[in-house]
Amino acid sequence: LMRKAAALTDSAMTAIRDALADGKPYTERELALLADRAMLAGGADRTAFDSMVQSGPRSAYNLARPTDRVVQPGDLVMTDIGARYRGYVADGGRGFTYGPANAEKRAIVAAAARAVEAGLAAARPGTLACDLNTAIQRSIVASGYEAYSSEARGHGTGHGTGMDPEEEQPMIHPANRTVLQENMVFTLKATITVPDVGGLRTERIVRLSHDGVEALDQFPMENYW
């Protein structure tokens, strides 16, 4: 059920990508509605939460509901979208550049993806939640975005998900010494938000397997459209 919820969330991102590929203008609200329709058409009971699409300078807000702002070429866009399916939910964060974006915006996308990849590489049964947090946190700090990332400053780099988008455990947090166990399901995330430039939250839902992690969502983490 979690895999299906994650796949439906992936379909929402596919709908946004395909819409923008036609070159027509879309508002944040229109893209969020396309995402919702894609999830419902695929069998979702409903959305897990209000779908977020934030573009341009608004993508530097930690979270904000979509508006009538038209997505512009060169924008960095943050999305936070999830599907609810038969009582289970997915919590998916992705971002992308739209059109010819500058190197600074592309670097933000790459840095967030690298940080989550560091977490994927470090996650194993028997690992302490705080040590997994450290792997992601260090990557963000090393990329130079410590001042622009709550995760880099100790907010935590993941949380349990299942019947609720943000379950309390296992919190992937500097203070949590929970020993991670096989079949735990949680997100790994990296948020970078630079005022007047833009930002994104890159988030992957994983199940801890006997020797690593299974990614439940498959949509790419590094997107330049």
The pLDDT of residue 131:
98
Q: What are phi and psi of 84, to 5 degrees?
A: -110, 130
pLDDT for the residue 168: 74
Fill in the amino acid letter for 136: I
How confident is residue 36, by pLDDT bands cut at 50, 70 and 90?
Answer: very high
The DSSP call for residue 204 is: E
Band of residue 167 on the pLDDT scale cut at 50, 70, 90? confident
Average pLDDT over residues 89-115: 97
Average pLDDT of span 56-76? 97
Whole-number pLDDT of residue 165: 84
Q: Residue 42: is its pLDDT beyond 90?
A: yes
Mean pLDDT of 95-101: 97
What percent of the chain is modeled with pLDDT above 90? 96
Percent of the chain surpassing pLDDT 70: 100
Model pTM score: 0.95
Residue 214 and residue 120 in contact, taking contact as beta carbons nearer than 8 Å: no
Average pLDDT for 83-98: 96
Q: Are 6 and 90 in contact (CB under 8 A)?
A: yes
CA atoms of 59 and 67, how far apart (whole Å):
12
Amino acid in the structure at residue 177: R
**Cα distances (Å, whole numbers) of residue 215 to 7, 157, 205:** 11, 16, 6
What are 133-161's pLDDT values in tens digits? Answer: 999 999 999 999 999 999 999 999 999 99
pLDDT tens per residue, range 174-204 = 999 999 999 999 999 999 999 999 999 999 9
Mean pLDDT over all residues of the chain?
97
Rounded Cα distance between 189 and 181, Å, is: 19
Q: What is the average per-residue pLDDT within 54-63?
A: 96
Query: CA 75, CA 54: separation in Å to the nearest integer?
Result: 10
CB atoms near residue 81 (< 10 Å): 31
Given a cut of 90, is residue 99 above it in pLDDT? Answer: yes
**What average pLDDT does this structure show over 36-62?**
97
pLDDT value at residue 166: 81
